[in-house]
Amino acid sequence: MSKKYEYVPEQPLVQGNHTFSSITSLIGDIVERPTPMWWYIAFGVSNLLLAMLLGMIAYLVWEGTGIWGLNNPVGWGWAIINFVWWVGIGHAGTLISAILFLFRQGWRTAINRFAEAMTIFAVMCAGIFPAIHVGRIWVVYWMFPIPNQMQMWPNFNSPLLWDVFAVSTYFTVSLLFWYVGLVPDFATLRDRVKSKFGRIIYGFFALGWTGGNRQWQHYEKSYLILAGLATPLVLSVHTIVSFDFAVSIIPGWHTTIFPPYFVAGAIFSGFAMVMTLMIIARKIYGLEDIMTINHIEKMNMIILVTGTMVGFAYVMEFFIAWYGGVEYEKFAFINRAIGPYAWAYWLMFLCNVFSPQFFWSKRIRRSVTASFILSIVVNIGMWFERFVITVTSLAQDFLPGSWGYYSPTWVDVLTYVGTFGLFFTNFLLFLRFMPMVAIAEIKMVMPQADPHYYDENGDEPVLTDKFAKKPDVNA
């Protein structure tokens, strides 16, 4: 080994010589400043899209699912694709909050609040599709096992029913988790805002938080328990979603690797979505000191790993489709690669497996532009993955006589576009009125949170140079 390698020390998580109070004002001021013009424009556009979504749903309820592109044998089309896509995006938030919390990944604090909010709004968008897909939405409560005089029960053997439970549990726990984390920050805002109305509202949600020792102990305990509960949920939700497909005997759907493969894909797309939104938000709100380039690099590594895991699953599926020697399975996969939907298949492969490979390069990993572009590419790819899985297996089924080419209608497309309206309406409200970074948690990973940071008299060490490095508490 002739080449000499340099040791790369890890960078502090919060850059730019911040103090506790400068962090509070950096994040708190976003809420207290007057609403910027761009926000009104973006909110207006989102509201228009949301109105369009509501219009499409009303039209659907009036006319029935015939206005979608569904036709025998393709009974599952864009609705299911969009459902799985949104639920997948909704995975990053709770993964970052729960799993990375249990793994003591300090860098999660910069993005967890943000990602949790995204999770909740994405799950809302996802939940719409199965609900409206039932066709007769006025009896949608039949999905729940409610005792009734007709003795009608949902089919407990069906993963579609498990989905109802899995997604609603996931939504509830994610919401609780998000809210528990918000309590100390709501209290911070309550103490800062000037308007009386704001004080009442934030005070109401702060639950009388004073930051006392006992309160922090309870807080830490409940946060840990919620993290422990949320961790299996992150895996179970997308596992059940994968069961929707994998328990059936449709070629291309029935394969045992589906559960972990779907979970990896969900994390993959979720991180990509967090990346897209984060890059915009840190720019607009000047949060580069908190959401640093190192955070972007770490997230890109996760995107690379999960993208490659998805690629691993593609390879396994393809190999076993041949190895298994089942005629139909083999056909399903060859049909994906060279059949009528080959364009979608290769687009999926390109976006999900090849594009993240750019992140092997440190320069690309640390490039904001490249990260932004690739994160969007990834989410396009993940949408097409669900398209390929759902449509190719159904459009060319066991009977060649019924083969056809599935195309969506304008209603399909506009409904999907409309969900972005719902998502961004919520997200913009979140950015405007809530602390978008976990103020209390970010302080815990700063050097000042370490008792060893202070000198003998308990004072801050004197930094002469503005860019001087804070003492490394681990040395």
DSSP state of 398: S
The answer to whether residue 260 forms part of the interface with another protein (CB under 8 A) is yes
The answer to whether residue 62 forms part of the interface with another protein (CB under 8 A) is no
| Token pair in block for residue 346 | 């290769």
| Token pair in block for residue 398 | 């066991």
Question: Using the rule CB under 8 A, which residue among 257, 279, 334, 342 binds another protein?
Answer: 257
Question: Using the rule CB under 8 A, which residue among 16, 135, 208, 324 binds another protein?
Answer: 324
The answer to whether residue 461 forms part of the interface with another protein (CB under 8 A) is no
- C-alpha distances (whole Å) from 92 to each of 89, 99, 108, 378, 455 are 6, 10, 11, 14, 40
Q: How far is the CB of 388 from another protein (least distance, A)?
A: 16
Question: Using the rule CB under 8 A, which residue among 153, 204, 360, 405 binds another protein?
Answer: 360
Binding piece for another protein, criterion CB under 8 A, among 113-121, 164-172, 258-266, 386-394: 258-266
The closest of 90, 73, 48 to 414, measured between CA atoms, is: 48
Q: Which value, in Å, is the radius of gyration of the alpha carbons in the chain?
A: 24
Q: How far is the CB of 459 from another protein (least distance, A)?
A: 14
Binding piece for another protein, criterion CB under 8 A, among 3-11, 160-168, 367-375, 428-436: 3-11
Is 275:356 a contact under the CB 8 Å cutoff? no
**Site track 4-43 with another protein (rule: CB under 8 A), x = hit:** xxxxxxx---------------------------------
Distance CA 75, CA 402 (A): 13
Of 70 and 321, nearer to another protein (C-beta) is 321
Distance CA 405, CA 391 (A): 9
Q: How far is the CB of 215 from another protein (least distance, A)?
A: 20
Is the bond leading into 73 cis (omega within 30 degrees of zero)?
A: yes
Contacts with 387 (C-beta within 8 Å, 6 or more apart), sequence order: 81, 341, 344, 348
Q: How far is the CB of 42 from another protein (least distance, A)?
A: 37
Site for another protein in 75-134 (CB under 8 A): 102, 104
| Helix, strand, coil percentages for the chain (3-state, nearest 5) | 70, 0, 30
Burial class of 3 by CB neighbour count within 10 A (0 to 12, 13 to 18, 19+): exposed
Of 94 and 426, nearer to another protein (C-beta) is 94
The answer to whether residue 232 forms part of the interface with another protein (CB under 8 A) is yes
Residue 27 exposure: Cα atoms within 13 Å on the Cβ side:
28
Q: How far is the CB of 416 from another protein (least distance, A)?
A: 29
The closest of 35, 30, 18, 14 to 185, measured between CA atoms, is: 30
Is 122:273 a contact under the CB 8 Å cutoff? yes
| Backbone phi and psi for residue 125, each to the nearest 5 degrees, phi listed first | -60, -40
Of 203 and 259, nearer to another protein (C-beta) is 259
Count of residues that interact with another protein, criterion CB under 8 A: 43
Binding piece for another protein, criterion CB under 8 A, among 64-72, 321-329, 364-372, 400-408: 321-329
Question: Using the rule CB under 8 A, which residue among 160, 279, 316, 445 binds another protein?
Answer: 316
The answer to whether residue 452 forms part of the interface with another protein (CB under 8 A) is yes
Question: Using the rule CB under 8 A, which residue among 20, 40, 153, 323 binds another protein?
Answer: 323
Chain contacts with another protein (rule: CB under 8 A): 1, 4-10, 102, 104, 232, 235, 239, 243, 246-249, 254-260, 301, 308, 312-313, 315-317, 320, 323-326, 360, 452, 471, 473-475
